[in-house]
Structure 1
Amino acid sequence: MKFSIPMTAIVLAAGLATTAGAQTLQKIADANKITVSYREASVPFSYLIGSSKAVGFSVELSEAIIDDVRKKLKKPNLEVAYMPVTSQNRIPLLVNGTYDLECGSTTNNTARAKDVAFSTNIFYTGTRLLVKKSSGIKNYADLAKKTVASTTGTTNAQVIRKYNADKKLDMQLVLGKDHDDSLLLVESDRAVAFAMDDILLFGLIANSKDPASLQVVGDSLQVEPYACMVRKDDPEFKKLVDGTLNRMMKSGEFTRLYTKWFMGPIPPKGVNLNLPMGAELKANLKALSDKPAM
């Protein structure tokens, strides 16, 4: 399930338009294969347990979409390939056709919508701070002249960089290659805080080496929606993805999955995040909106 992505593919992808065939369903039918991405450390959305198996809330949403693709194409034996992506390469690799569907922990915003399309929103979150309890840090003002981590290719890195400039805090920002790497920067005292979506921080703490030593602090700097990501200018495939998600939201299946991953014990340690559904997501179960963050 896990394999490396050649750097040449990433470089080429960055300069390519969606000539990889915007019509995703036809591409899948011709190859008798759909390729879906997963994240390695976006707990509880999409993350690895062991060395090769991805699990999570978004993974199960992907599986429901794949089932609907099989039905739509009348291909019950459709091959499914899985590949890991990072915050940095997830958009270019989708744009150039390397994979077909991303359901992970990607913010739906207007800047990204220039390159890709987004489904109905599946979660809402905001940037906060993961710190050691012993650090004494309670909010952003405490970060003045200190080293702060975030993850390459995320909206959070942009948010904390702007906040730093606006408030003249003189923070030093260091970027991890993925969320596990950014967490390690705090655990090893190379950074005093990790700025990221609060839900991902709670998930990282739950599966960390010493959960009792870490906490999430600070005001939420903004509210951002997560959504599944598909190639731009392919209304047929977006309609299918939205149809799956909207049906699950209306039927209660989406809420059942939410309860499983956010209100119950999750692998591998059986930790319960105990995070009730927020007001924004509850409202979107009725609105079925794909409205982006600005």
Structure 2
Amino acid sequence: MLNKPLFYRSSYLAIALLLLISPLCRAYNIHSKPTLERIAETKTITLGYQDDAFPFSYIESQHPAGYSIDICNKIVDALKVKLKIKDLKVRWVKSSTASQFVLIKNHVTDMMCIPAFYSEARHQQAEFTLPFFFSSTRFITRKNNHTDTIHDLAGHSVLVKSGTIYVEQLHQLNKMNDLNLNIELDNNNNAAFHNIESGESPALISSYVLLKGMMTLAPNPDEFEISDEVFSQPIPAGLLLPLNDRDFKSFVDDTMKLILISKDFTNLYQHWFMSPIPPKAINLNIPMSTALKALISATSNDTN
């Protein structure tokens, strides 16, 4: 059995609730205009997206699409009302998991519309919105590898996407359990999964939801399996916002509260995780987690 690292024993729902009621207090950055003021002046909001994070953020018909993209669009609709700008322009900037923090820090984007899984180290680089998903860390492998646990991978090379929280998790597991893993980094989920398909690499470590998305998109999904073994409790995923901008974070979080407790959110979740997703009619069949239900309940109580 794996030794349980510290992050495994953490209460990520408690982190989510902390983000709900108490944004971090930081010194205001005098070198940049507040985000809301800048958006009002330019009548443009700049949003980041990924093309390899199905079903959260990917490209469909040459446009960003996905669960987190839909949530961002709802926030933009609320922003149009707040700023009284009906023709607010949306500019999309392609990002990666690793570059998203640089884009936010340098104000290249106003908000990242991709699933940013929370960690304390990441929270020092950017603000997180309220979570809209929770997912644990697992690995995917080909069934014919007969790999059931992380110990079966001991001494082998494993893939993990650069810039993710899974890199840190894997290093901790490797050290605490003396697995002698060779950790290889890739910067694209689709390319990493191709290495699993070809047999070049035995396993890819990521969040369960992203792994299931990759598997269901594969030509032969039955050839793969996702580990039952988990390396973390369900981790909250939110959108990234700039540091030191309390007004913008407050607006986005207030909007997120209304989104989470609305009937539209239930329909949105059902569309992306419990229904066939066009055009390939892929059904991920991932019921809403206990952690997300608890957050919605707490948000509803707080709002009322």
TM-score normalised by L of structure 2? 0.86
Q: Name stretches of at least 5 consecutive residues in structure 1 with no aligned partner.
A: 1-16, 290-294
For these two proteins, the number of residue pairs brought into alignment is: 272
Paired amino acid for 2:240: M
Contact 1:87 1:153 (C-alpha < 8 Å) held by counterparts: yes
CA contact (8 A) 1:28 1:34 kept: yes
Aligned to 2:90, what secondary structure does the other structure show?
strand
Q: Which moved more, 1:145-154 or 1:177-186?
A: 177-186
Percent identical: 28
Unaligned runs of 5+ in 2: 1-27
Choose which of 262, 277, 282 in structure 1 pairs with 2:288.
277
Deviations 1:159-183 (A, max 9, x none): 1122112111111111111111211
CA pair 107-22 structure 1, distance change in 2 beyond 3 A: farther
Given candidates 223, 242, 266, the residue that maps to 1:231 is: 242
Partner of 2:4: none
Contact 2:212/2:284, CA 8 A, preserved across alignment: yes
Paired residues for 1:244-283 under 5 Å: 244-283=255-294
After TM superposition, list the pairs within 5 Å mapping 1:200-239 onto structure 2: 200-223=210-233, 224-239=235-250
SS at match of 1:150: strand
Distance 1:69-1:181 versus aligned 2 partners, 3 A rule:
same
1:2-17 pair list within 5 angstroms: none
Q: 2:202 aligns with which of 192, 199, 207?
A: 192
Aligned to 1:161: 171
User: Is this contact kept in 1: 2:261–2:299, CA < 8 A?
Assistant: no
> Equivalent residue of 1:272, what SS?
coil
- 2:116 is the counterpart of 1:106: yes
Contact 1:22 1:234 in 2 (8 A): no
Map Cα deviations across residues 85-120 of structure 1 (whole Å, 9 max, x no partner).
101100011110101111211112211111211111
Is 1:170 paired with 2:180?
A: yes
Partner of 1:136: 146
SS in 1 for 2:115: coil
- Give the CA RMSD over aligned residues: 1.6
**What's 2:9 paired with?**
none
Q: Is the 8 A contact 1:108 1:118 kept in 2?
A: yes
Q: Deviations over 1:223-252 (max 9, x none)?
A: 211011111111111111112211122222
Match of 2:135 in 1: 125
